[in-house]
Structure 1
Amino acid sequence: MARILVVTDSTCDLPAEWIRQYDIRIVPTYVQFGQESFADDGVQITRTEFYHRMVSSPFHPTTAAGSVGETSEAMARALNDADHVIGITAAAQLSGLFNTFRLAAEDTDPARVTLIDSRQTSMGLGWQVYVAASMAQAGASVETITLRIQRMQPFIEVYAALDTMEHLRRSGRVGWATAVMGNLFQIKPIVSLHEGVVSSVARVRTSHRLFEALVELAHHLAPFDYLAIMHTVNPNGAQRLRDALADIRPETPVPIVDATPVLGVHVGPNGIGLGIVRKIT
């Protein structure tokens, strides 16, 4: 039986024990403050340190993909340990990661590498990696895994409930006028990512209403095949959200994950969110 390994980038936000269990290979992405660059690995800069710096630094953080060389090395190591590699990256519409992986595949052994644009990030990407890696470990073929992921993608959505629009404004992800008006009236938005497209789905005035709106949205979208709760240094809010969704939890595990700083650049601290795969029909 051919051995298949999955290589992905660090924005996948998968729990560490799952990464170990399925031997998932991770290529770090980077956050930058001015000329300083830190790997998004939780070691060079912790989540807490990142958000502390985010609010205190004169530089708004930016993000960057790992180099082609670094990605090629990770891919070559995976190919040494497997017959075939499936590379799954954050959305090509939002990041240069897919192109970096493509160039790395060309540098190594393109005939033994299959690339998939997840059209997602955080646990929207993570669920695809989890399913691919668990199928690979169970002996599924590259073709079967690829078809399964393609089938999943239209049913995957990420939602983020933001404490402020300020970080979206500074990252350039929303229009200047919209952001200014949102900050002026202290608007708290819920934004979604679906198949590579970022949209605003709700705007409220209070944290209480923001939480309620996210819970209502989740109930509207249920049932789920997979559900993850995400947060940006807001573990209490994440646990409260998980508890509020107890009646619609799927049979699969429901992890709480501290979202990647690469997402936090746009979201800011104190956010909560959902990474869901709706029931595939």
Structure 2
Amino acid sequence: MNNVKLFTDSTCDLSREMLAEHDISVVPLYIIFNGLSYKDSIDMDTSELYSKVEELGVLPKTAAPTPADFYEAFKPFIDEGKDILYIGLSSQLSSTIQNALLAAQEFPEGRVNVIDSLNLSTGVGILVMKAADMIREGLAAGEIAESMREMVPKVTTYFTIDTFEYLYKGGRCSAIQGLVGSMLQIKPITKLVDGKITVYDKQRGRKKVISSLLQQVQRDVERIDTSRLFVVNSFAEEDAVHIKQEIHNRFNVGNVEVTNAGCVISSHCGKKALGISYIIE
């Protein structure tokens, strides 16, 4: 029996079925409405999140798991003799990694391996799935952690939003920017660079956005690790399935998984957000 226990956080946006199949445990982030905290995808799902936003007219705050949350999650497995491998949300976007590192200090050195994905959503998830593959192969936690750190800069993630409403409510753009963006149907496409979100492209209209995402795949297709590519969406499953099919048809990438964004990612991106994640070899 392998003595490595794999953990991630709720922003990985992997399905419950995938998490269960590969024995991956999640330490959830928090969604906070009017001072009340909800564990992402445990106490509240994305549908309930959007209903709450419509009801209250405000976006929730989000918060990282505390060091105590991590300690309580890790300790039972440490006590069983397992080593922990934790892969989490970019340290440039959240204190999640910092808090995991604080918890790791409470255990003997080397027992808890914390990996900063420098990514979000399925950019985290694709690393987690790679780690799960290595655990099945029988690699030790330290070996996997070393491989993960080498793989982090090879993960490529693009994200697009469909509405400026959530950026405006979240204070990430002004009312004028939101109004102009909405009127012109401008859709920003972002890319994770060194753990931070940067605007990579802007397109007018949904069809051009999807075309732009597919162009990114086409540009990298000769170097993509075809063992796994993710398309993530927040209430945009039809578009996500379309992108999956186009990737199959155009680029002969065999394993394309469609997943649904959880509450934390959706609270920042809004409905109809789309993203793609893959690894460059």
Q: Report the TM-score when normalising by structure 1.
A: 0.90
Q: Could you list the structure 1 runs, at least 4 aligned residues long, displaced by more than 6 angstroms after superposition.
A: none
Q: Residue 248 in 1 paired to residue 251 in 2?
A: yes
1:193 positional shift: 1.4
- Provide the residue aligned with 2:59 in structure 1: 60
8 Å contact 1:87–1:116 — kept in the other structure?
Answer: yes
Which is worse superposed, 187-196 or 16-25?
A: 16-25
Q: Distance in 1 between matches of 2:2 and 2:113?
A: 14
Which is worse superposed, 45-54 or 25-34?
A: 45-54
Q: Report the TM-score when normalising by structure 2.
A: 0.90
Q: Distance in 2 between matches of 1:82 and 1:130?
A: 23
Summarize the alignment of residues 64-213 of structure 1 with structure 2, pairs less than 5 Å apart. 64-173=63-172, 179=178, 181-183=180-182, 185-213=184-212
Structure 1 regions of 5+ residues with no counterpart? none
Structure 2 regions of 5+ residues with no counterpart? none
Q: Report the identity percentage.
A: 27
1:184 positional shift: 5.0
Partner amino acid, structure 1, of 2:241? Q
CA RMSD of aligned residues (A): 2.1
1:156 positional shift: 0.7
- Provide the residue aligned with 1:276 in structure 2: 278
Partner amino acid, structure 2, of 1:166? E
Partner amino acid, structure 2, of 1:245? I
Partner amino acid, structure 2, of 1:160? F
Q: Distance in 1 between matches of 2:277 and 2:160?
A: 12
8 Å contact 1:228–1:276 — kept in the other structure?
Answer: yes
Q: What secondary structure sits across from 2:152 in the alignment? A: helix
Partner amino acid, structure 2, of 1:53? K
Which is worse superposed, 268-277 or 11-20?
A: 11-20
Which is worse superposed, 194-203 or 174-183?
A: 174-183
Q: Distance in 2 between matches of 1:138 and 1:175?
A: 50
Aligned residues: 277
Q: Distance in 2 between matches of 1:144 and 1:38?
A: 35
8 Å contact 1:234–1:270 — kept in the other structure?
Answer: yes
- Provide the residue aligned with 1:35 in structure 2: 35
Partner amino acid, structure 2, of 1:10? S
Q: Distance in 1 between matches of 2:54 and 2:205?
A: 21
Distance 1:2 1:32, change over 3 A: same
Q: Distance in 1 between matches of 2:148 and 2:110?
A: 20
Q: Distance in 2 between matches of 1:82 and 1:51?
A: 41
Q: What secondary structure sits across from 1:269 in the alignment? A: coil
Partner amino acid, structure 1, of 2:14? L
